[in-house]
Each structure stands twice: as C-alpha cells, then as structure tokens.
C-alpha cells in the first residue's frame, strides 16, 4: 500500500512539474503579449474558449477554435507557421494546451496570455462585446459610495473557480445580512465596467470596500469567508 501511495505521489509531482514547465514556455504577461501583438500587421490571435463564450466577447481580430474543435486541423492549416500565434482562454488552461500543441506542430512562436480574457479586458485593452454592460462604472462607484461595506465578486459563468465562489457568498450574505452589500459582476453581462475598473487580472477577483476604501483585493477565491470575517472584525 505504501509503495502505491509513493508511486501515485511521484506521478502527481511529475504531472505538476511538467505542466508548470509547459506553462512557463508559452505563457507571457499582458504587457509582453500586447506589445508583440502590436508589432504584427495582421496578428494571429486565437480564442481557445467555447463558441458561446466567443460570441459574447473576445479580443478584436481573434478567431475561435481549440484542441477539441472538429475542424482543428483545418484551422491550424490556415495559420502561418513562420509568424507568432497568440492564444488565450478564460484562464490558462485551453490556451496553454493549444500554444504547446502549435509549437509541437512546428510553429516558430506561440504565446498564451497569463490571466486570459480577464486580464485583457480587466486592464482596458480593446475588445468586442455583443451587448452593452448592464452595470456602468458610475453605477458601480455609487454603490460603493452609498454603502458602508461592499463585497464585489468579479468573474464569469464559464469560470470553474468563479462558480465555487457562489456558495461562499451565500454563506457570507446569510451571516451579515443588510450590513454587507454584495455585488456580483459577470464578464458576460457587464464587460465594460470590468474594463473601466482596470484592476482585474484573473477570475475571480474579490474586492472588499469599507467607507469607500478598499480593505482587500483578492485574485482568486482563497479563504474568502475567513478574510471577510477578519477584515470586518477589525473595523
């Protein structure tokens, strides 16, 4: 039994190390990604998310396919292997795998965007959206100004980590009631306010305000419930 556990542990370790190495060879920061795109006359940008996600919002000029697309080989054949390819997704999963596969297929350069579409839109880079945001920056600022304590959850319904935030928010809402205003912002319905805030690098992003000032900003879920409890207990 002990040997089986050790073997399983080693396999898991090698898998994690292997993924980290793959990620480090293709994943780049937003600044690097954007500057490289700007240097291209007709950049080859690939949105590796699903078709529904792409239809709602995407980087200007991007095409949509991933490793699971039925016409994957056909789409790859349309690309120029001698020029850089830029991939992105909701985070760093599908885009990393796609970039790695393109390199294996002989492409000269392939880059995956760290933080994905969240990082791009969240820092105000140009994007397409099929509808106007339900929430404006002015309305957002008014909510923060009109409420003593505000917890903001910024994410996407297509983000697995974002889905895990929801039950935690319900627990927090039940505990604090009217003493805490919770605002949930999704990329699919309010992309422009996410762009205007220029503070989002990943999904989910959690921001706690008190008296109009930021108490904490979290990139990722972490131990949200404890962080809120600690922050509010000290006020």
159 carries an active-site annotation: yes
Q: What CA dihedral angle connects 6, 10, 13 and 14, to 10 degrees?
A: -170
Note if the bond before 204 is cis, omega within 30 degrees: yes
- R_g of the chain, CA atoms, integer Å: 20
Q: Which of 113, 162, 187, 232 is catalytic?
A: 162
Q: Which of 46, 152, 159, 194 is catalytic?
A: 159
145 carries an active-site annotation: no
Residue 37 makes CB contacts below 8 A (sequence gap 6+) with 43, 45, 86
- The kind and range of the H/E element at 64 are strand 63-64
* Residue 21: closest CA among 100, 80, 89, 108: 100
d(Cα 14, Cα 23) in Å, to the nearest integer? 14
What residues are labeled active site?
Answer: 159, 162
């Amino acid at each position: 039994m002990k040997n089986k556990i050790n073997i399983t542990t080693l396999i898991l370790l090698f898998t994690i190390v292997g993924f980290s190495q793959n990620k480090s060879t293709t994943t780049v920061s937003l600044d690097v990604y954007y500057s490289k795109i700007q240097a291209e006359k007709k950049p080859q940008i690939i949105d590796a998310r699903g078709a529904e996600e792409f239809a709602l919002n995407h980087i200007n000029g991007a095409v949509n396919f991933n490793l699971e697309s039925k016409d994957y080989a056909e789409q790859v054949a349309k690309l120029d292997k001698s020029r850089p390819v830029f991939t992105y997704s909701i985070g760093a999963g599908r885009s990393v795998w796609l970039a790695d596969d393109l390199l294996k297929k002989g492409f000269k350069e392939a880059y995956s965007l760290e933080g994905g579409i969240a990082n791009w839109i969240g820092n105000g880079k140009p994007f397409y959206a099929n509808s106007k945001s339900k929430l404006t920056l002015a309305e957002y600022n008014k909510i923060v100004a009109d409420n003593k304590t505000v917890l903001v959850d910024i994410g996407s319904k297509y983000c697995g980590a974002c889905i895990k935030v929801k039950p935690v928010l319900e627990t927090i809402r039940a505990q604090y009631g009217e003493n805490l205003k919770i605002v949930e912002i999704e990329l699919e319905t309010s992309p422009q306010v996410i762009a205007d805030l220029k503070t989002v690098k990943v999904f989910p992003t959690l921001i706690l305000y008190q008296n109009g000032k930021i108490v904490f900003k979290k990139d990722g879920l972490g131990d949200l419930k404890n962080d809120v409890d600690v922050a509010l207990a000290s006020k």
